[in-house]
Chain A
């Protein structure tokens, strides 16, 4: 019962029902038209026949005499069919024919008449030939006591005899009924067939929908890796399934991101929080001086500032990855943005013992987020200062030669177009990143420096990667032999 209700709710079944209804209405209209037209045609043919018969009888009367006419009328009367015949003398006595209930007014004046009559009274069954089969017998018995309708023409022949020829129009109705019945049977067949076809189609559709529903139920119960099966037919359901699967992939990816953030928060934020707590506890210990307290408090503030900035970076990355910042995209003069950042960092790099070389192609405009793009570039430059410059300066000192290698201090920032893409490149000649770690450093909280002596959250490159992705671009780290060549590649926008 539930299944039937469900089937009824499907679009296919409803549409089928609607079409069947429309079809029935049209069929009835057609049937009516056919019935009406054929009854008119039959009527026309009958009156033609009646006229012809009257003409024949007139000829007989004229040329062959009364007797021949009476025999002819009698013979034609005994034939089965809707024919009504009456031949009588002016005195009103019946000479031949098969119809015994001619109303007096028909006989009194010639003309066309239509009148009801009782079949039982009108026909002499002894005259009519016996029923040929049971069907006819049945028809006859059904006719018993039934009222019928006759259309007749009465004429006065040359010999003065009265002739009435006509047709029982119930017969005509019977014929129309046959046509209607035939068509109705056809109609029922068609309706049945289309109903079955509709239900079958609906069940097929329902089955496909049910698989999708089943998949979503599995996913809702917690198994995010489940996917809607896609067949090879590539029909509308497969397109729907593909779309759903893509959406699920995206959702799964976002959930994974969220989980990663939660894990990261648990691991990488708990550590500094613990440190913070320990420091406060140590400061509270007896025997510590005011100077100790002050130092501990300052360290606490510094540590919380670091925590806050880590937290902010984490939230920002999460927001970018969720795609909620896409609405903040506007037309940005990227050349200007890159130049501004270079202008901000040029002196900083110089002070750190490096040299910033800038190579910017002018007039590059993108649909982008100015703030995030700037921040991404800032992060890359911060990294070169932290890892390339300080490292190489340290190395130079450690080696004790005092001199600096020329190339190791040069940091190159370039912006240009290449194959329909806009490339922002930051190249340094520091120690570089080992091949195996190049993909890993883009993940959150990955820091290659084990000792963690340098400040930093481990989120800088993750943010760059997220920003590149927000702009539908990519971020890659290449080997600059030696050093790092970081490339943000963005598709050109119109």
Chain B
């Protein structure tokens, strides 16, 4: 994946570029808003990571200009401002996801991988298939091995989200945001409890475990 990182804190940027490189991504780095905008509009990237407060030009303005120029590259906004209103302003300007500083690298990685996939037309699919597990979005039917699995509405949405991004790590925070629409961090691992219930429904009695826990990062569904 080709990634552009627009971040003025050079230490944080160096660390991120290195970590993304280790994760197998090519990352370009821009130190200020003007350079970042020039690079984003002249080169093709898969994902842009843009800090909100930048010298010479702020992140929101970069995104707004890019969107006005029909540049639809997915954008992850990084910001120290974490209130719901800040998040809303960020997403309204055209950002696709919002991550509050400080963050875990695994969280950032999971999010940009999901973002890069989001621009993929495959996401509008009417059904998802992972191994012998099949989810039909029209009838809301979940089958494994031709056996119907009964899910609670929330469990269905949880599975739908996981299968939509199958083969990719999905963090607990992402699940809390996308499935429950909560943007705070409960102390207890509520997500783990729900995941273990979901796992019991789809994996119990099967030899192949589809729903996997990725240590220190989150969950992933894959063959």
Contact = CB atoms under 8 A, between A and B. Distances in A.
Partners in one complex: yes
A347 B193 contact: yes
Interface stretch (A134-142, A250-258, A360-368, A374-382): A374-382
Contacts of A305: 104
A174 interface: no
A308 interface: yes
Given A328-B84, A328-B85, A344 B197 contact: no
B186 A312 contact: no
Interface stretch (B19-27, B51-59, B121-129, B176-184): B176-184
A371 B186 contact: no
Interface in A306-336: 308-309, 312, 316, 319, 325, 327-328
B194 A347 contact: yes
Nearest to B196: A351
B188 A348 contact: yes
B140 interface: no
A175 interface: no
Contacts of B188: 348, 382, 385
B131 interface: no
B102 interface: yes
B183 to A, nearest CB: 6
A456 interface: yes
Nearest to A351: B193
A351 B154 CA distance: 18
B102 to A, nearest CB: 6
Given A345-B190, A347-B197, A348-B193, A309 B84 contact: no
A340 B104 CA distance: 27
Contacts of B197: 347
A381 B82 CA distance: 23
B187 interface: yes
Contacts of A344: 180, 182, 190, 194
Interface string B150-162: 0000100000000
A456 to B, nearest CB: 7
B185 interface: yes
A292 interface: no
Interface residues of B, number: 19
B83 interface: yes
A455 interface: yes
Contacts of A328: 84-85
Interface in B158-173: none
Contacts of B82: 312
A304 B85 CA distance: 25
Interface in A199-237: none
B17 to A, nearest CB: 20
A385 B83 CA distance: 27
Contacts of B84: 328, 371
Contacts of A301: 104
A201 B188 CA distance: 68
A378 B184 contact: yes
Contacts of A351: 193
B218 to A, nearest CB: 15
A345 B193 CA distance: 9
Contact of B187 (A308, A343, A347, A382): A382
A345 to B, nearest CB: 7
Given A308-B102, A327-B85, A375 B184 contact: yes
5 contacts: A328-B84, A344-B182, A344-B194, A371-B184, A455-B187
Interface of A: 301, 304-305, 308-309, 312, 316, 319, 325, 327-328, 340, 343-345, 347-348, 351, 371, 374-375, 378, 382, 385-386, 455-456
Interface of B: 82-85, 102, 104, 154, 180, 182-188, 190, 193-194, 197
**Closest 9 interchain pairs by CB?**
A348-B193, A375-B184, A347-B193, A348-B190, A378-B186, A351-B193, A382-B187, A371-B84, A328-B85
